[in-house]
A and B are shown apart, each in its own frame.
Chain A
Amino acid sequence: MTMQATDTTACDKLRMVIGAFVDGEADEVDANDVRTHLRTCASCRALAHELSAINQSLSALSEERAPEHLWPGIAARLEQADVTKPARRVRPSWRMAATACAILIAAFAIVVSMLPSRDVVQASVEDFITYRAKGWTVDSTAHDGRTVTEWAQARVPFAVPVVRDRIGVFEVGGVRLCWLLERRLLGVTYATGDDRAVLYIMEAGGLSLPQPNRVLGGNRQVAVEQHKGHGVAVWTENDLVFVLVAAEAVFDRILELAAQSMPRHARLAVQYPG
């Protein structure tokens, strides 16, 4: 494509490409067009100079270093995050069991591969355990579902269903923004006395979900599982996955209450007009 030096339309068209050219992000065709144009257009050449100068100045700002204590602090938190997880299997302490272990591991892998995926279950329970260890801190404290819903809607890429003020006697206490399973999701906390449960809400895309094994609320297909001393209920609605987690002693109670008042999936604008 041949550009005239005085063709302002050509200059306008190349303006953004010149930026990519200076950044080294222009493809070969665009780069050749820019080089050709710059040979004859003083205005665009001056622009390229300016952009290059800005690049030079801004890249010099990358000399700054993080404080030296930052990573040690992070490492301590990572170790703490692992500590909150229960210990896994115990290794045998004698060599003669090495072959037997290999056989057991292989067999375990086969069995696990035949089970329904527990990714959502495992990740949710582990987050719940960590959350409890951190003292039930929330990103936003609220005691009504509308406030929780409005706060959450501004922070996640999916349509947040209307959050209930309560699940039976369990009242909403707040919401956390979580990062699990490589996605942003919500953790809505419900509590009654010292008993707590968390309802995780996330997009379903790409997740391998457990098979439903119960029917609640008349027609809701739910997968109910136990994992690390916690009860977990998983169900889907539209493109969202809901995961209710609570300690075993609390789980049956809140599950039954939840069955009586399953959250309805409705756009906030519809539920709260104006």
Chain B
Amino acid sequence: MHDTGKRRRFEVLARPELDALFRTARRMTGDAGLAQDLVQDTCLKAYRAFSPDDEPRQVRPWLFRILINGVIDHARHRGREALVTRNAELISAFQVDLELHSRPDRALASRETGRAIEAALAALPIDLRAVAILVLVEEASYADTATALAITDDLVRSRLSRARDLLRQRLVEHDDRVAPQAVQHLNRGLE
């Protein structure tokens, strides 16, 4: 009964994070199969240390912390630079899973933009990529991102700033092909 209750409680808190965990792992590694393994390991490790009394608010950044540690461990084991290069090569040709690209009403420019963004994201150094994914894709707060990555808020801000600079540089290189989409974005108001 106790274990069932604990599993039920863990599922209530952890399962809603599954999509975000998988997306993050896939974008960090460029490998959907590996991402599934990492997410499974993350959940198992978290469950072992989990208490039903844990503060629900802290479960999400905690899960991401375990996941990111697992991703970084894997990257170090396989060679960080090789992983970044492989990521960029994969993502530049990878777009099948994204719903964004399956919408028939999307213009070619939008698909190119999406592909360029994925490639730019994949080409970021792993420490910047983690921040960019958590804040810009998963819309985590700076505080939760800092907790997930075991860094300070200031470091989140500085890494995010550097990540954005690199993303902007990469996206500028695709200006000619994504111009229609870029113009549409630039004309949008701030608020």
Q: Tell me whether B186 and A62 are in contact (CB under 8 A).
A: no
**Does A110 lie at the interface of the complex (its beta carbon under 8 Å from any beta carbon of B)?**
no
**Does B182 lie at the interface of the complex (its beta carbon under 8 Å from any beta carbon of A)?**
yes
Cross-chain pair count, CB within 8 angstroms = 149
Bound CA–CA A140/B6 (angstroms): 31
**Does B179 lie at the interface of the complex (its beta carbon under 8 Å from any beta carbon of A)?**
no
Q: Tell me whether A53 and B100 are in contact (CB under 8 A).
A: no
**Does A23 lie at the interface of the complex (its beta carbon under 8 Å from any beta carbon of B)?**
yes
Return the contact of A58 from the options B43, B76, B137 (Cβ within 8 A). B137
Q: Give chain A residues whose Cβ lies under 8 Å from the Cβ of B118.
A: 61
* Closest Cβ neighbor of B139 among chain A residues: A59
Q: Tell me whether A52 and B10 are in contact (CB under 8 A).
A: no
Q: Tell me whether B43 and A16 are in contact (CB under 8 A).
A: no
Bound CA–CA A257/B131 (angstroms): 46
**Does B53 lie at the interface of the complex (its beta carbon under 8 Å from any beta carbon of A)?**
no
**Does B173 lie at the interface of the complex (its beta carbon under 8 Å from any beta carbon of A)?**
no
* A64-B49 contact given A58-B132, A74-B43, A82-B7, CB 8 Å threshold: no
**Does A135 lie at the interface of the complex (its beta carbon under 8 Å from any beta carbon of B)?**
no
Bound CA–CA A15/B20 (angstroms): 29
**Does A247 lie at the interface of the complex (its beta carbon under 8 Å from any beta carbon of B)?**
no
Count of interface residues, chain B, beta-carbon cutoff 8 Å: 62
Bound CA–CA A154/B19 (angstroms): 29
Bound CA–CA A259/B63 (angstroms): 38
| Chain A interface extent, by class | 35 or more
Which of A38, A73, A74 has the most CB atoms of chain B within a 10 A radius of its CB? A74
Bound CA–CA A70/B35 (angstroms): 10
Q: Which residues of B (7-28) have their CB < 8 Å from a CB of A? A: 7, 10-11, 15, 18-23, 26-27
Contact with B along A57-68 (1 / 0, CB 8 A): 111111111110
Q: Give chain B residues whose Cβ lies under 8 Å from the Cβ of A79.
A: 7
Bound CA–CA A25/B117 (angstroms): 23
Q: Tell me whether A19 and B161 are in contact (CB under 8 A).
A: yes
Bound CA–CA A54/B118 (angstroms): 11
List the 4 closest pairs (A to B, CB-CB), nearest first.
Answer: A53-B185, A66-B22, A82-B3, A179-B45
Q: Which residues of B contact A (CB under 8 A)?
A: 2-3, 6-7, 10-11, 15, 18-23, 26-27, 32, 36, 39-40, 43-49, 66, 69, 73, 76-77, 97-100, 113-114, 117-118, 121, 132, 135-139, 141-142, 150, 157-158, 160-161, 164, 167-168, 171, 182, 185-186, 188, 190
Between A and B, 15 residue pairs with Cβ closer than 8 Å are: A16-B157, A19-B160, A20-B142, A54-B168, A57-B117, A58-B136, A61-B27, A61-B114, A63-B99, A65-B22, A77-B43, A78-B7, A139-B73, A179-B48, A181-B49
